[in-house]
Structure 1
Amino acid sequence: MGVALAAALAGLHVFPLWPRSKTPCLHGKRRCQGTGVCAQGHLGWEQRATTDPDLIRYWWSASPTSNVGIACGPSNLYVLDLDDAHGEQAPPEWAGARHGSDVLARLAELAGQPYPDDTYTVVSPSPSTHLYFAVDEDCPLRNTAGRAGWRIDSRGAGGFVVAAGSMRRDGLYTVARRAPIAPLPQWVVPLFTPPSRPEPELIVFGDVRPLADARRQAYLDTVAGKVANALPGTAHNTLVSAAYTLGRLVGGGEFTDDEARSALHIAAQQRRVPALEADAAISDGLEAGRRSPRRLEDRAA
């Protein structure tokens, strides 16, 4: 509890992890029953992370040995996670490197900048080095894996780190440098900025006759029926796949978004998929499908 309270006092938003692990204790979206704090919609660990000392005492009184997670987004935190190679040979462009810190040092040299270690630093049992940096509230940087270079990951909005003082089965998270959390160096930002998403190509469908209403409805019923009749353990993936299939047709103007959503929600309800899980799966599938629009053709003579 002391670790969590100290982090919160420093302005970092915390939440409990299972003892000796880095897995959040709070329930995930797929297991959400939509009750209690989630009555108005699922709240994950990022939304529930807190600096409230009373809530922290309540959480850790219930589970005193829980580890401490720090939610990076709410904490205005960006953490560089520099991993050990564990004997793996570095790729040619990083030949000779044995740790992510070696790669970051070369990146700093290429940028003509000092190595950015003058900040609060934690070492995990792995061992990996976590360099903590402060960012603006609206910082767009998110989690990355290897984008900046070999053995360099990062945690930002949507991610968390394990606080020093927490323990895993293989050891303790310890403070390697007890310095104030420094602002994220500007030269580092481009290394973790995702490339711009290309504009979708304009697709010309040509002279394709739309399906008759009866055929459209039959197709919609067939796709939704696969969800309603999905085998145990496959409902979620089947729902996402069906939403993607209909999303492509929504993008092509064959169905409206409302038509697709209604059919999929009814099918998900028949298959007893939890409402919150169904809504997320349908939204994800439809959004992905719209990026690859297509049309159906009435092949009747």
Structure 2
Amino acid sequence: MTDGGKYDVVVIGGGPAGLSGALWLARYRRTVRVFDAEDPRNAATWAVHGYPGLPEISPQELRETLRMQAKDAGAEYEAAVVLSVEGREDDFRVTLEDGRVFGARRLLLATGLKDIVPEIPGLEQFYGTSIWHCPDCDGPSVRDCKVGVIGWGRQIAAYCMYMLTFTEKITVLTHGHPPDMEQKARDALQRWNIPVREDVIDCLEGEGGRLRRAVFHDGGTEDFDAMFFHIASGPGASFAADIGCDADEDGILEIDKDHLTTVPGVYAAGDIVPGSRLAIRAAAEGVRAAVGIHKSLIGEDRRLR
């Protein structure tokens, strides 16, 4: 039963990947409907950086622009939470939280990732203006600044090596957690004079959205111009796993050159597939997935062997 109607493609996720895919699917005269929970990973960030032709555009403005383009091309959009996905190629069923069911011949998953944000008093006050999670996006904003990197996992040293692109004034802040580092990682931090401070952070202070200092549980303080955090992230939704798509231990999906997952008829784009976590890359991949989907829907009577 598909009381909501049946489409060539249902897109789950309304970020750059999902909306760019919907735009191009509509251009290919495919019937397409986008469902978006409207809870983007980069909502706190004040701007999307490095997007050619759109200098310093806000995440909300970028999404609104892409949404308008997709709708003008003929795609349908709805702010809605998808509850479940089931079925097979040419006969998928997408059930919404309100109980409505929509059919689709193909699915495009663009549900993104979600970050674990450290629970430190004051962090939310600066998140998106002087505290970030993505060095690619916001690293250029902290050139030669003093930066704290919150994290304690095995990848935190590698994260700091990457941050050296932008500044050598880095301190690892484990927030009371023992650092999980191999000797090779410790040696790298020592070689670049990156200290590891294990004190518990009581709060972060600043004004006007600008971080100024960390206050530690022992009463000490340390000044910082900015911070990044790298705790963990995971898929923003479980639909890919529910329907049987293969993924690595972090939930990143296996795809082919057309962005087809290991499940026939299910495509994916954006942060849930391998690669950098950039808005411009997500948009490009949404287009690549749309091309792959369109080609898969071309009838056999139009294929010349």
Please indicate, yes or no, whether the TM-score normalized by the shorter chain is above 0.5: no
Instruction: Give the TM-score taking structure 1 as reference length.
Output: 0.20
Instruction: Give the TM-score taking structure 2 as reference length.
Output: 0.20
Rg: which structure is higher?
Answer: 1
Bigger fraction of residues in helix: 1
Bigger fraction of residues in strand: 2
